[in-house]
Amino acid sequence: MNLLRSFRSIPSRFRSAAGTSVVAPRLFPATGFTTIPASEKLEEENWPWYTPESFYPVRIGEVVHSEYQVLYKLGYGTTATIWMCRDLHHNEYVCMKSMVCNFPSVDREIKAYETLAKEGKTNTSTGKRYVRQALDHFQLRHGDHNYHFLVHEPLGVTLDVFLDIAGGRFPMDYVKDFATDMLRALEFIHSSNVVHADLQAKNILLRIEDKTVLREGEEEEIKFPSPRKITGQSAIFAMKELPGSVHRWIGLKSVPVLCDFGEARTGKNTYTEFIQPAVYRAPEVFLQLPWNTSVDIWNLGCMLWRFLSGRHLFSRKKGQDEQAADKLQLARMAVLLGRPPEALLADSGPRALEFFNEDGSAKIDVSAETLESLLASSLEGAKKPVTVEESEAFLAFIRRTLAWADQQRPSASELLNDPWITSS
């Protein structure tokens, strides 16, 4: 049984009425578009590892898997190209993810969605609303390779886009609402024994305020076909600019949704791989100790600090030697959070001695600061003032998420009852 297919049976506002007949595909222009020269690289071709076999040659207008008509290209990344499609069997818009060939993240993501689908059949947690689900999964053969596809509900802009629009930081009330939503999301995925392992703004999307913009995008593609580059080996299309004003994409309905499970781990209690964006990386990962779902809690705490203050708590300089940057980051942790527990360093063994002396002090000196002083200085330019009580409650919450030892970090469920979260 395809567990992802089971989501078709879940009632949703995105489902069309029962008994709707299959919709005929639309005709898309065969002329009138800009043809990109073969010598010019376009979008995913710019990845240094790209070959014509890296991605399935999706074409606008084609019907994929006898069900999904491709309408326009939404984007691309290191692991997939993203397409807006119409599900002809349900007469609705869907987002199709055409995944890169033979890459480890593909199997991880599919396994994570299968696990979440299975858990979602019986789990009544509200957290499901804040986690992207897979509506379908299928494979297509092209040349000598098999290519995986995932189908999702369409979502809007990424949180990093919204962060830019907001001027690089969010007000306290939004940060608290966001924290609550993400804790619910983590509560659900952790109850499914899934670790996301890559929480960052670009992996969180917002629900669309006004879904009529999707229709406008379809009509624009017919009137103004996207530039493309078609060769005997591949088909590359330019992304479509999002139609409509920003207020039609971001509004009261735009709750955050946790997406992109390509780095997720499932099925085990602990792991040892190197994970997470460096600025959000938990200490046990640096120290090469087994880690678990609590790395997501550390990651969330660092991300909330970034959203409120406008700065990374553990920033790193571009181009800096990675080993030197790691030492500086662990030293800064020790200054802001106190020295790491002796037991943690003992468990890490020789690895810990790369960062810390025998007495637990950091091997390099960093400026003496406190979380209180950093937050106060960063909030001086905030548009909406933050009260002393709000700052203290936020800092107490952050300290709980940033405990050195993973056993000391509360679970997502426990943090949902934290005074900062529950206060009005």
Residues 242-258: tens digit of each pLDDT: 899 999 999 999 999 99
Q: Is residue 38 part of a domain?
A: yes
Asked if residue 366 and residue 229 are part of one domain, the reply reads no
Q: Half-sphere exposure of residue 311, counting CA atoms within 13 Å on the CB side?
A: 15
Model confidence band, residue 9 (pLDDT cutoffs 50, 70, 90): very low
Q: What is the mean pLDDT of the chain?
A: 93
Asked if residue 233 and residue 196 are part of one domain, the reply reads no
Q: Which of 30-34, 52-56, 82-86, 119-123 has the lowest mean pLDDT?
A: 119-123
CATH number reported for the structural domain that contains residue 178 in this entry: 1.10.510.10
Q: Is residue 269 part of a domain?
A: yes
Does 5 score more than 80 pLDDT? no
Asked if residue 410 and residue 291 are part of one domain, the reply reads yes
Asked if residue 345 and residue 279 are part of one domain, the reply reads yes
Q: What is the pLDDT of residue 20?
A: 58
Asked if residue 254 and residue 184 are part of one domain, the reply reads yes
Mean pLDDT along residues 185-191: 97
Among residues of the chain, what percentage have pLDDT more than 90?
88
Q: Is residue 12 part of a domain?
A: no
Phi, psi of 266 (to 5 degrees): -140, 150
Model confidence band, residue 16 (pLDDT cutoffs 50, 70, 90): very low
Among residues of the chain, what percentage have pLDDT more than 70?
95
* Global confidence as pTM: 0.93
What whole-number distance in Å separates Cα of residue 235 and Cα of residue 372?
Answer: 53
Q: How many domains does the chain have?
A: 2
Q: Is residue 222 part of a domain?
A: yes
Asked if residue 202 and residue 82 are part of one domain, the reply reads no
Q: Which domain holds residue 331?
A: 105-132+156-207+250-423
Model confidence band, residue 111 (pLDDT cutoffs 50, 70, 90): very high
Asked if residue 183 and residue 226 are part of one domain, the reply reads no
Q: Is residue 361 part of a domain?
A: yes
Q: 237 exposed, middle or buried (CB, 10 Å; 0-12, 13-18, 19+)?
A: buried
Q: Is residue 139 part of a domain?
A: no
For residue range 283-299, list pLDDT tens digits in order: 999 999 999 999 999 99
CATH number reported for the structural domain that contains residue 30 in this entry: 3.30.200
Asked if residue 188 and residue 223 are part of one domain, the reply reads no
Q: Is residue 16 part of a domain?
A: no
DSSP annotation of 244: S
Return the number of other C-beta atoms located less than 10 Å from residue 264's C-beta. 22
Which of 203, 185, 197, 204 lies closest to 266, judged by CA? 197
Mean pLDDT along residues 329-333: 97
**End position of a domain, from candidates 195, 224, 246:** 246
Asked if residue 320 and residue 230 are part of one domain, the reply reads no
What whole-number distance in Å separates Cα of residue 352 and Cα of residue 345?
Answer: 6
**End position of a domain, from candidates 195, 222, 246:** 246
What whole-number distance in Å separates Cα of residue 178 and Cα of residue 172?
Answer: 10
Does 65 score more than 50 pLDDT? yes
Query: Which is more confidently placed, 75 or 20?
Result: 75
Asked if residue 284 and residue 202 are part of one domain, the reply reads yes
Model confidence band, residue 2 (pLDDT cutoffs 50, 70, 90): very low
Q: Is residue 32 part of a domain?
A: yes
Asked if residue 239 and residue 273 are part of one domain, the reply reads no
**End position of a domain, from candidates 246, 273, 294:** 246
Does 12 score more than 60 pLDDT? no
Q: 383 exposed, middle or buried (CB, 10 Å; 0-12, 13-18, 19+)?
A: exposed
Asked if residue 194 and residue 126 are part of one domain, the reply reads yes
For residue range 117-157, list pLDDT tens digits in order: 999 898 888 999 999 999 999 999 999 999 999 999 999 99
What whole-number distance in Å separates Cα of residue 205 and Cα of residue 182?
Answer: 12
